[in-house]
Every structure is written in structure tokens, then in C-alpha cells.
Amino acid sequence: MKLWDKGISIDKKIEKFTVGNDRELDMFLAEYDIKASKAHAKMLGEVGILDEEEVSAIEKELEKLQRQLENGNFHIAEEFEDVHSKIEFDLTEALGDTGKKIHTARSRNDQVLVAMQLYFKENLQQISGKTGDLIDVLLELAKKHEEELLPGYTHLQVAMPSSFGLWFSAYAELLIDDLYLLEAGLKIVDQNPLGSAAGYGSSFPIDREFTTKELGFSTLKYNVVAAQMSRGKCERTVTSNIASVANTLSRFAMDICLYMSQNFDFITFPDELTTGSSIMPHKKNPDVFELIRGKCNKLQSIANEMILITNNLPSGYHRDFQLIKENSIYAVENIKEILDVFIHSIALIKVKDVDLTDEKYKYLFTVDSINDLVMQGQSFREAYKEIGGQVQNGNYRPAAGKKHTHLGSKDNLALDEIAKKKKDAKW
């Protein structure tokens, strides 16, 4: 039941250790291995290694397996090492010697590579789409609340006037930066490694450009050693790009947790999105955003793990690569769920009226007061000293209500320009 089986039995403890949880993880890759196997069979037919009947028979059996997968009837039993051996076994069971020919001119190495890259490619597009949806929601919230003021903070100290519109659109624009990184990641994984075999190519007259087109890759990884070395590089890139999204969401979730607390009291959410306490009946906890914060921090650690496992491996294949499969898939699947929950929750946010005349916000407008004096002819340094003296003497009186007219400020959010940046992002 192993693609490398030479008739020698293997120690069961060693087998369990080396297989790990590949069977469970490979369920995420099954559809992509089926797709790649179909493209490989058609290519073998194009170059004359398989005849037309053999290609047709293999395609039909692979389509049956695809239907099993879609219907929830595809399983990788314990006697199989992974999805690749399972699919080849099923083809051989159904087609005899014809099924055995599917592995011609390929290795399990490039099978895993192409399945992983197809998985990453499709899912990066989904992640980008969900990120784009969140950006749209935030820009809508920014427009809705652009007139509602909010204290701005530096060092968690009251600093300068901000607004809910500025807050929402800030995270929208940061997420556009994350879209750029996801786009870069997509470009890296969108290169066909199939045909590199074990990492050094093949003496068969295969047509790698055929499979590139058949699988929908934009280009191929030409150098076969480079194709093999992309194992690890793709995982590092994808998890790093996901970590960037996670970093933005984690910071946003932290803001939300702070702003929901009674000490800030800027926002709230419907009761059904919050949790309570087993002993304190008044509690309304932002558990969903605390979990988002924690999960996003975990995703950022995965990117570092990818580097530590792969950073000093020499060229060629090494079994260490098996260890990066689990957490790279974990990162992909979790960021999709996090984005879905974030989109659902943030759309229901309730913005509160913030009373900026409260004593604790007394110094929120000191910079505006300085700027007023500068506009009246004082130098900035003189104006700074004058307002600073008023603060020290306790006789400062804020001059609230100043407009910030420059592009990207609280009274000129540039939402259309931010939306255009999002639209122009190629994902």
C-alpha cells in the first residue's frame, strides 16, 4: 500500500512515526491530487506513453473518485500511507496494469508539491476574497460613522481627536497592504512543479507546458531542482502572508476589546455575540474577539516555525518537509474561519456617543490650540510653550471643533481613494 514498497516489511513503530497524521491532512489535498493525476495522465497520452483508451479509462476512474470525495464517501484507510497511495491503489484495483502506469514520469515528491500548490493557490484566492469583503464592510462603517468623534491615543494616553470613520478606514487600508502580500504569495505558488519528479527531472519525454496549461498555472517552475526546493518556500511564503493578515486582525481585535470595556465605553455588540460569567451576572464579554486575537497570534507563530524547520536544509528533498504540512494547512483553514467570523461580527458593531467634554479628554485638543496660535502668526515653538504653560498651570481651555481638512484626516477620510486601492489590488 506504499508507493515505495519493495516487498520489505517495515517496523510498525517506525511506520506510525513516519506516517504521522498524513492521512487526515491529505483529505484537504485529495481533490488536488485527483486533478493533477488527471492532467498527468492526459500529458502521458499526448507524448505517447499511454494510449487513448488508457487515458480515457484513468480519467473516468479519477472522476469516480472525485464524486466520492464530493459525496463524503472518500476515505483514506489505515493501510494506506497517504492520499497518493490510496488513489493509485484504487486506479490499479479498477484498471489493473493501466492503473499502475499513472506513476510513470512522476515521484511522490512532485505529487505532493503540485497538490499543495494547487491547494494554496485556490485558498489564497479565497482568503483574498474574504479580506476584500472585510475591507468593504469597514469602509461602509467608516462612511456611516465619519462624523462621530473618538479620542485618539498614543502610549494609551489621550492624544488627539480621531473619529470612528478614521478608525474603521485605518484597518481597511492596512488590510489592503495585506492583499498586496497575498497577491505576491499567489504569484509564488502559481508555478507548476509537476514533472520535476524526485527533484532532478525525468528521462521520459514529458511535456511540462501541457500540464501547466491543463492545471491552470500561470507559468511553470522551469528548473527541476528549484521546483523541488519550492517545498518549504511556498509554505513559508503563504504562512507569512497569512500572518500579516492575522497581525492586522489581532490588533483590531485588541482595539475592540479595549473599546468595549467600561473604562473606554466607545462601542458594544448585540448580546448574542457576547458571553457571560458563571458568577457575575453583569458581564458582557468580547470572547469572540479575544479568541480572534489569540488565534491570530498563533498564526503569526506558525510563519516563524516554517522558517525554523526549513532554513538550513540543503537542496533536494528531506523528510523534514512533512512537518510543515500540518501547520500550513492549519493556517489556511483558520484564517478563513477567522475572517468569516470577523466579517459577521464587525458588521453588527454598535457605536456609542462619546462625550469629549468629559474631564479626562480635556487635553485632547492641545495640538489644535497650538496650531491656532501658529496660524495667528506665532512660531510653532512659541505656541507650544504657551499652550504647555497653560496645561501646567491648570488654566488650559480646549478649542474644540477644529476641522482637519488635509487628505486622510478625520474630516477628509479619502474613502473613495482607499476603495480604489482595494479595487486595483490584483487578487
Ranges of residues in the chain whose predicted pLDDT is under 50: 2-4, 6
Greatest Cα pair distance in the chain: 94
The owner of cell 492624544 is 159
pLDDT digits (tens, 9 = 90+) for 35-79: 999 999 999 999 999 999 999 999 999 999 999 999 999 999 988
pLDDT at 73: 96
Q: For residue 278, what pLDDT is reported? A: 65
How many Cβ atoms from other residues are within 10 Å of residue 387's Cβ?
22
Tell me the C-alpha distance between 237 and 357, whole Å. Answer: 48
Angle at 120 between CA 119 and CA 126, to 5 degrees: 95
Total Cβ atoms within 10 A of residue 308:
8
Which pLDDT score is estimated for 20? 60
Q: Residues in the chain, how many?
A: 427
Burial class, 139, CB count within 10 angstroms (exposed 0-12 / middle 13-18 / buried 19+): buried
**Among the residues of 106-223, which ranges form H helices?**
108-144, 164-189, 208-215
Give the span between the Cα atoms of 315 and 225, in whole angstroms.
7
Collapse the DSSP code of 321 into the 3-class scheme (helix H, G, I; strand E, B; otherwise coil) and give the result: helix
Residue with grid cell 472525485, as numbered in its chain: 66
Report the relative pairing of strands 267-268 and 350-351 from DSSP bridges: antiparallel
Handedness of CA 182, 184, 190, 195 (dihedral sign): negative
Residue-wise pLDDT for 170-179, tens only, equals: 999 999 999 9
Residues whose CB falls within 8 Å of the CB of residue 23, separated by 6 or more in sequence, listed in order: 76, 78, 80, 82, 83
Q: Return the pLDDT at 310.
A: 93
CA-to-CA dists, residue 220 to 194, 217, 305, 355, angstroms: 8, 7, 27, 59
d(CA 115, CA 26): 10
Contact 215, 231 (CB under 8 A): no
Q: What is the pLDDT of residues 353-393, one digit of tens each?
A: 999 999 999 999 999 999 999 999 999 999 999 999 999 99
Helices (H) and strands (E) in the chain, counts: 15, 6
- Beta bridge partners, 350, equal 268
DSSP state of 38: H
Query: Residue 216 region, left (φ>0) first, then alpha (ψ -120 to 50), else beta?
Result: left
